[in-house]
Structure 1
């Protein structure tokens, strides 16, 4: 497993060599607990934070081809499938997952961009233990992890992108902070990351 830093790129391959066929991008987060007396009595937290993971596909000319998010849980050909909306971040492990069958993606898909945004408009100041990770779905092995934590007034991040390179894929950790309650409101930052 590779712990990625912002801007780092890693070639995605199976542990024994060869190209990956199916991957899952997992997103996990917790709501930051209030400190001091308010935290001891469960107060001051301000309620749940609804983060949303999205996956957008683009062709070589940077034209958007498809989007998969909580309002559209699967691509037209079902090569990309979203696990569904988690509105709290409660519990351990991935709170939202986007599964991608790389072998079924249309040939004109050159780039997949993964984003996370706060649908409720809460800033990342209220988030802790946030991460995205890429898992080889054929064996459950974590390939790469990127820490999304880091307080700030932003409400969204362009997390990572997968780029088709020859007969394989590369993942680049982006971590570009932006604002927006949906991926549509973050489109300037998304296009800038291509």
Structure 2
């Protein structure tokens, strides 16, 4: 059963039987907002949103997974590939990042997921955008967070997966930011560690 998350809400990544999830997938989907008017449709550009995962040890970034570095140095986090146009919207994922929680090195205590508009459009030009967390072993959706709602920002700090006393948890952050790459977002990310 999936949980629709709101900004700031947390969810445990423990299974209902008390076991821990082993591999999770953070999926991202979006569509370009339909533009009204003949000329607007003619001048519409594709929207390239990019999902990234920044791995932290305390406050220090130690690795990043994104379209130009698809696998973390330790192999525990893997990006499935860049989608330049979106289109899944409410259906499947346009970009996905897989996290093998059991293989994440012990010094990594947080993984922050971001989405940014590489082509520079704002979220006012995006519709049906979401991120979701799935149990990769059985495909069950665990949590979903809607990124829609417009805004003049070009990026969002979507969510973070972090270690807690009882294992891993996920927190929906939904913090608007500005930037075309994860590097541009680092000052905003720092506020959520």
* TM superposition score normalised by structure 1: 0.94
Contact 1:33 1:45 in 2 (8 A): no
- Whether 1:82 aligns to 2:79 is yes
Q: 2:53 aligns with which of 52, 55, 58?
A: 55
| Unaligned segments of structure 1, at least 5 residues | none
Indicate the larger mover: 177-186 or 15-24. Answer: 15-24
Distance 1:144 1:118 in 2: 23
- Whether 1:150 aligns to 2:134 is no
Distance 1:24 1:122 in 2: 26
- Give the 3-state SS of the residue equivalent to 1:27 in structure 2: strand
| Correspondences of 1:121-136 after superposition (within 5 Å) | 121-136=120-135
Partner of 1:103: 102
| Correspondences of 1:62-73 after superposition (within 5 Å) | 62-73=59-70
- Give the 3-state SS of the residue equivalent to 1:150 in structure 2: coil
Distance 1:141 1:90 in 2: 22
Displacement of 1:34 after TM fit?
Answer: 1.2
Distance 1:111 1:57 in 2: 6
Contact 2:29 2:87 in 1 (8 A): no
CA RMSD of aligned residues (A): 1.4
- Give the 3-state SS of the residue equivalent to 2:102 in structure 1: coil
- Give the 3-state SS of the residue equivalent to 1:184 in structure 2: helix
CA offsets 1:137-179 (integer angstroms, 9 cap, x no match) = 1111001000000111100000000110135111100000010
